[in-house]
A and B are shown apart, each in its own frame.
Chain A
Amino acid sequence: MSAVIEVSGLRKAFGRTQALDGLELHVAPGEVHGFLGPNGAGKTTTIRVLLGLIRADGGTARLLGADPWHEAVSLHRRLAYVPGDVTLWPNLSGGEVIDLLAGLRGGAEEKRKAVLLEKFELDPTKKSRAYSKGNRQKVALIAALSAGSELLILDEPTSGLDPLMEAAFRECVEDERRDGRTVLLSSHILSEVEALCDRVTIIRAGRTVDSGALADLRHLSRTSVRAELARPPAGLDQLPGLHDLDVEGTRVSCQADNSALDELLKRLTEAGVRSLVSQPPTLEELFLRHYTDAGS
């Protein structure tokens, strides 16, 4: 089956600002794909191109096998979108907005909607004007999730939600994945992407920096190792591929390239390991490395 989102060489300029500069993004059916980048990297611009709200200057973008600009309406029938900054009609109630937006996508499944209202603890009778940012976001999320679309495009969907609601949101995305739907999740909340996504695409300044399964991307980073030894270790400072090495008597902490792990462990066991903590790189570290390295 062909890709759900197929973007290559995408370019878009606003005046003199080059917002997208040859961006690549490939999302396969049924996967939850993380779309990562710092503020201003071009995440929202990409999504707006995919939604046919703006037209790219160059490159190609295909959504569900069709052109997002020309086939906008028929494509939108098959997808649901939650913007990062939700603006609603101030004098409509939340319930009205949900019914309106879901109705446009072919109608909400009533049972599903009721479950979602319960799950997100939203009062649908309040006027949108009175909702907080988080509650406006819930309105948009419920409208999107209750329609049962085959593709969900979520642009930083949890930026206003509290941790409990974030957990509810994660459950919903898990449900979507189980039902075989495709999700594009744009975010800079890395723990969220780490917990939810099968694959990620990392972009910076309108360009794709890296893309792949989380497991594959980790080779780019290091493992952080902390150990307590029986004796002071020998020769660690000559070992290539170790960073931020700190030896205090029998305590060692460092960052190791994956290529150096084997040798490091040998040296540590030689010194007698009492306790060992090793952590895979968090996306935070991955992220920081990408953007500080690529930026400097």
Chain B
Amino acid sequence: MSAVALGGPRATRAGSHPLAGTGALARLALRRDRIFLAIWVYALAGSMASTTYSYRHLFNTPAEQAAQAHGIQTNPSFVVLSGPVFGHSLGALIVWKVGLFVFVLTALLGVFAVVRHTRADEEAGRLELVGSTAVGRYAALAAALAVTTGACLLIGLLIAVVQIAFGLPAAGSLALGAATALAGCLFAAVAGVCAQLTESARTARGMAISVLGAAYLLRAVGDPAARLSWLSWVSPLGWIERVQPYAGPHWWLLLVSAAVTVVLAAAAALLAGGRDLGAGLVPARPGRARAAGWLRGPLGLAWRLQRGGLAGWVLGVAASAVVLGAAAKGIGATLNSSPQVRADIVRMGGQAGLVDAYLAIEFALLSVMAAAFGVATVLRLHADEAEGRAEAMLAGPVGRIRWAAAEVVWAMGGIALLMAVAGVCSGLGYGSRTGAIGTEVGRQFGAALAQVPAAWVLAGLAVALVGLAPRVTVAAAWTVLAVVALVDLLGRSLGLSQWLLDLTPFAHVPALPGGAFSATPLIWLTVVAAGLTAAGLAAFRRRDLT
């Protein structure tokens, strides 16, 4: 309004349009993210390409392909993690192998990129600087969505081109590319909505990732169990899976995803248009006038800062564990009904039994989540240092070790807590359906806790990075976690060699429940975690603060 009143004709034209400046902001975003986006695009298109390359040689006759597809379809743990295999062509196997993984990571890219250029900029005050220029009300959101959509489309396009170049059917390859791009765009739009709801970028990111996690979980339960398959239809990731690029493709599901994306983007714009800069939809409440009695040192501070987030993680892990545990019952039923499947299981897994194999995969998944919590918590040290809050504490009579150890304590304790919750909740979920709650809770509690030392190793590695490599801490810590998760969860079905599998800490955890318990590897993992942590803390004490 004031631009119209005060400015000349040019200001009126450029400054009053609600999308004015979108182009400039998009160019700014591209300039800031040129490396970040290039790495994601390259890594995602590359992981699809390398799988295709190796699968062409692994399964080059229809008979081999059909046998592999059958093997996957009869192992619910594979289906839980990677979804069903649609068809038995080479393309179908490749999509099963890395499809869901690429969809989820593209969706994560969408979430990170959108929040980074909307709420994170707003919270840091940069959007205020930008907003004081001739920039429209919707420009930041529009630019963030445009850049992210562009990156996702580029990933999809590269994937389609590469698949066609490898000789896979053109229609299916295009559908696969489009499905990948839409997974990213849809969750970018989800993040666009979340960024309008809260004042904090961290919370917005957490909300959007929770939606992604819920989508993954819904299809993880729905995919292997015929009776619960409607759950997969509630999940956006379920739709994307069911595009079935090389066994269809179901183009209409792409249209559904696109329509939902547009609706979400419009909702985000509506919310953005109606609120003040810097404000969320939920108004901030006043805080305490004085600190609580326990807020007296680094440990209390870390608890004060972590408790909200930890509660969210506990809730997420508890819900996942209950649902996944309860779904284990359905898997047992499928197993008993089919003698052929039973034979397959015995061939694959030996005595442990299908349910135990399924539960082991469940805990492997949840322990990666717990490790992610640990890494995120440890990385707060880095953020506090980079943003100057560490100085406020360390200029007080607080030794560096004491300050850093506070976060480490919560990281390690949080991991143990999360896995304990996972074990109990999974036991409750499964036990409530089999009627043996007591035994199941005890058995699964132990199995979940056995994963704790391995997750500690990853958090310990993050501490070591904070101390030894402050320049690359964040990127390195998350990259290691992603690679470990990938190798740990998918390595065996990818056919990776044993020494590579052995590099991840989770490979050394005894196969529980069902397998033989052995304390030695757990002690070793704990020692390694302690060593990494000690090395990180010692280095942190000796180096300059950045």
In the complex, what residue of chain A is closest to B305 when comparing beta carbons? A89
Query: Would B291 and A100 count as touching, CB distance under 8 A?
Result: yes
B389 partner residues in chain A, CB cutoff 8 A: 87-89
Expressed in whole angstroms, the minimum distance between the Cβ of A156 and any Cβ of chain B is 14
28 example contacts (A-B, Cβ-Cβ < 8 A) are as follows A51-B391, A73-B397, A73-B399, A76-B395, A76-B396, A76-B397, A76-B398, A79-B395, A85-B388, A86-B392, A87-B389, A87-B392, A88-B389, A89-B305, A92-B287, A93-B286, A93-B287, A95-B288, A96-B291, A96-B295, A99-B295, A100-B291, A101-B393, A104-B296, A104-B297, A104-B396, A126-B287, A153-B395
Query: Would A88 and B290 count as touching, CB distance under 8 A?
Result: no
In the complex, what residue of chain B is closest to A105 when comparing beta carbons? B396
A96 partner residues in chain B, CB cutoff 8 A: 287-288, 290-292, 295, 304
A106 partner residues in chain B, CB cutoff 8 A: 397
A178 at the A/B interface (Cβ < 8 Å)? Answer: no
Within 8 A of B (CB), among A71-129: 72-77, 79, 81, 83, 85-96, 98-101, 103-106, 124-127, 129
A72 partner residues in chain B, CB cutoff 8 A: 394, 399-400
B290 partner residues in chain A, CB cutoff 8 A: 95-96, 99, 124
A124 partner residues in chain B, CB cutoff 8 A: 289-290
A53 at the A/B interface (Cβ < 8 Å)? Answer: yes
A93 partner residues in chain B, CB cutoff 8 A: 286-289
In the complex, what residue of chain B is closest to A133 when comparing beta carbons? B125
A265 at the A/B interface (Cβ < 8 Å)? Answer: no
In the complex, what residue of chain B is closest to A139 when comparing beta carbons? B392
Expressed in whole angstroms, the minimum distance between the Cβ of B117 and any Cβ of chain A is 19
Contact of A88 among B199, B392, B400 (CB under 8 A): B392
* Residue of A54, A74, A100 with highest tally of chain B CB at under 10 A: A100
In the complex, what residue of chain A is closest to B394 when comparing beta carbons? A53
In the complex, what residue of chain A is closest to B542 when comparing beta carbons? A55
Query: Would A53 and B391 count as touching, CB distance under 8 A?
Result: yes
B494 at the A/B interface (Cβ < 8 Å)? Answer: no
Query: Would A83 and B391 count as touching, CB distance under 8 A?
Result: yes
Query: Would A87 and B544 count as touching, CB distance under 8 A?
Result: no
Query: Would B397 and A103 count as touching, CB distance under 8 A?
Result: no
Query: Would A83 and B388 count as touching, CB distance under 8 A?
Result: yes
Within 8 A of A (CB), among B384-434: 387-389, 391-400
Expressed in whole angstroms, the minimum distance between the Cβ of A99 and any Cβ of chain B is 3
B388 partner residues in chain A, CB cutoff 8 A: 83, 85-87
Q: How many A-B residue pairs have CB under 8 A?
A: 114
In the complex, what residue of chain B is closest to A103 when comparing beta carbons? B296
- Contacts A76-B397, A76-B398, A96-B304 aside, 14 further interface pairs with beta carbons under 8 A come to A54-B544, A54-B545, A72-B400, A73-B397, A90-B123, A91-B308, A93-B289, A99-B290, A100-B295, A100-B300, A104-B297, A105-B397, A106-B397, A126-B286
Query: Would B123 and A100 count as touching, CB distance under 8 A?
Result: no
In the complex, what residue of chain A is closest to B401 when comparing beta carbons? A73
Contact of B123 among A98, A105, A129 (CB under 8 A): A129
Known: A125-B286, A127-B284, A130-B284. A99 touches B398 (CB 8 A): no
Query: Would B199 and A55 count as touching, CB distance under 8 A?
Result: no
Expressed in whole angstroms, the minimum distance between the Cβ of A120 and any Cβ of chain B is 15
Contact of A51 among B199, B295, B297, B394 (CB under 8 A): B394
A91 partner residues in chain B, CB cutoff 8 A: 200, 305, 308
B253 at the A/B interface (Cβ < 8 Å)? Answer: no
Query: Would B544 and A53 count as touching, CB distance under 8 A?
Result: yes
Complexed CA–CA distance, A81 and B287 (Å)? 24
Within 8 A of B (CB), among A160-208: none
A140 at the A/B interface (Cβ < 8 Å)? Answer: yes
Complexed CA–CA distance, A91 and B398 (Å)? 22
Query: Would A83 and B544 count as touching, CB distance under 8 A?
Result: no
Q: Which 4 A-B pairs have the closest CB atoms?
A: A93-B287, A99-B291, A77-B397, A104-B396
B301 at the A/B interface (Cβ < 8 Å)? Answer: yes
Expressed in whole angstroms, the minimum distance between the Cβ of B364 and any Cβ of chain A is 33
Query: Would B287 and A101 count as touching, CB distance under 8 A?
Result: no
Chain B proximity mask over A2-19: 1 for CB below 8 Å, otherwise 0:
000000000000000000
A126 partner residues in chain B, CB cutoff 8 A: 286-287
In the complex, what residue of chain A is closest to B300 when comparing beta carbons? A100
Complexed CA–CA distance, A95 and B291 (Å)? 6
Chain B proximity mask over A237-265: 1 for CB below 8 Å, otherwise 0:
00000000000000000000000000000
Contact of A53 among B289, B395, B399 (CB under 8 A): B395
Known: A53-B545, A92-B287. A104 touches B394 (CB 8 A): no
In the complex, what residue of chain B is closest to A113 when comparing beta carbons? B290
A62 at the A/B interface (Cβ < 8 Å)? Answer: no
A48 at the A/B interface (Cβ < 8 Å)? Answer: yes
Query: Would B286 and A140 count as touching, CB distance under 8 A?
Result: no
Contact of B393 among A54, A85, A104 (CB under 8 A): A104
Complexed CA–CA distance, A88 and B199 (Å)? 16
B300 partner residues in chain A, CB cutoff 8 A: 100
Expressed in whole angstroms, the minimum distance between the Cβ of A21 and any Cβ of chain B is 17
Query: Would B289 and A125 count as touching, CB distance under 8 A?
Result: yes
